Amino acid sequence: MVNCGGCCLGHCWFRFIMVVAMKLICLLVTALFLSSCYSTKLPDAGSSSQARQKATSHSKSKASRKPAKRAVYTVRPNDTLYSIGKRFGIDYHTIAWRNRLRSPYRIYVGQHIYITRVAPRSQALPIARSMYKAPVKTAKKKQGIKSAKPSHKTKARGYAKGRLLWPVKGKVTSLFGRRGSRMHDGVDISAKQGTPIHAADAGTVVYADQRLSGYGKLVIVRHARNLFTAYAHNQRNLVKRGARVRKGDVIARVGRTGRASTAHLHFEVRHGSTAVDPLAYLPRR
């Protein structure tokens, strides 16, 4: 009896220990699993909506107060540009613009979409701030004595679409807008070394040098209405600062000076210091 009782007791005791041990193991495994779930990194790259929701629910104040300045979102099934915009609190037009997406804004699963609230900055051109004033008045005064060209009056009305001249004949190889994390302030037009570069409109050369890093030999022309055009990576600059140029005048030759791997013209249009899309000012071709 005793033996039997002892045996029974020992058996029960062993079962009890086993059950407790199993429970402990289960708890440990669950804890490990949960901790691995919640250690999902914050979506600096390739965030999923679920990960984001968890992140926001745990550190709501941090995430909502300090949005990532630069983030890449990986498109998931059933995402639309609108739904992504809504999720991140950014107008989907802005996302479209920053990712160079055009209507109907098609996106595909796995595509990387830049989600950022801060647009990349344009590089400043080597022009004194004082130059960014509309030169209309001074131009009129100076021209009063000399022959007042009728073309100047038309310019004073503003720059409509297609107002400028294509500076070089060639294929556009890179558009204006975001290029990765940087801003591409102009368009690149492919052309052979030595191809003539024409002034996009009449104006005054305000810069002809190669001091600006990356641009190589650069010419900047100031036009009416506070509009500037810039021609970079030139093989040779054929004008000097202060020279007045007419629309179509050859002002430089295509090259690959500065940060350029192939011969092309980097062409910029600026309203004051703000870079604008040159294609909005060039005629369709």
Would you tell me which residues interact with Zn ion (CB under 5 A)? 188, 266
**Shortest Cβ distance from residue 173 to Zn ion (Å)?**
9
Contact 99, 114 (CB under 8 A): yes
Residue 123 or 273 having the CB closest to Zn ion:
123
**Shortest Cβ distance from residue 264 to Zn ion (Å)?**
7
| Of residues 226, 207, 251, 234, the one with CA closest to residue 155 | 226
Residue 68 or 183 having the CB closest to Zn ion:
183
| Of residues 114, 157, 123, the one with CA closest to residue 273 | 123
CA–CA gap between residue 113 and residue 176 (Å, rounded) = 18
If one counts every other C-beta atom within 10 angstroms of the C-beta of residue 191, the result is 22
Residue 188 or 201 having the CB closest to Zn ion:
188
Residue 9's Cα: distance from chain center in Å? 75
Contact 164, 282 (CB under 8 A): yes
Write the single-letter amino acid at 154: T
Strand pairing class (186-190; 196-198): unpaired
CA–CA gap between residue 48 and residue 269 (Å, rounded) = 39
Tokens read off for 10: 């020992």
Collapsed DSSP state (helix, strand, coil) of residue 140: helix
**Shortest Cβ distance from residue 188 to Zn ion (Å)?**
4
Residue 79 or 188 having the CB closest to Zn ion:
188
Contact 73, 84 (CB under 8 A): yes
**Shortest Cβ distance from residue 203 to Zn ion (Å)?**
21
Residue 155 or 266 having the CB closest to Zn ion:
266
Write the single-letter amino acid at 170: G
**Shortest Cβ distance from residue 89 to Zn ion (Å)?**
32
**Shortest Cβ distance from residue 118 to Zn ion (Å)?**
22
| Peptide bond before residue 104 is cis, with ω within 30 degrees of 0 | yes
Contact 12, 4 (CB under 8 A): no
**Shortest Cβ distance from residue 171 to Zn ion (Å)?**
13
**Shortest Cβ distance from residue 125 to Zn ion (Å)?**
13
Residue 113 or 232 having the CB closest to Zn ion:
232
Residue of minimal Cβ distance to Zn ion: 266
Residue 98 or 266 having the CB closest to Zn ion:
266
Tokens read off for 2: 């005793």
Residue 155 or 198 having the CB closest to Zn ion:
198
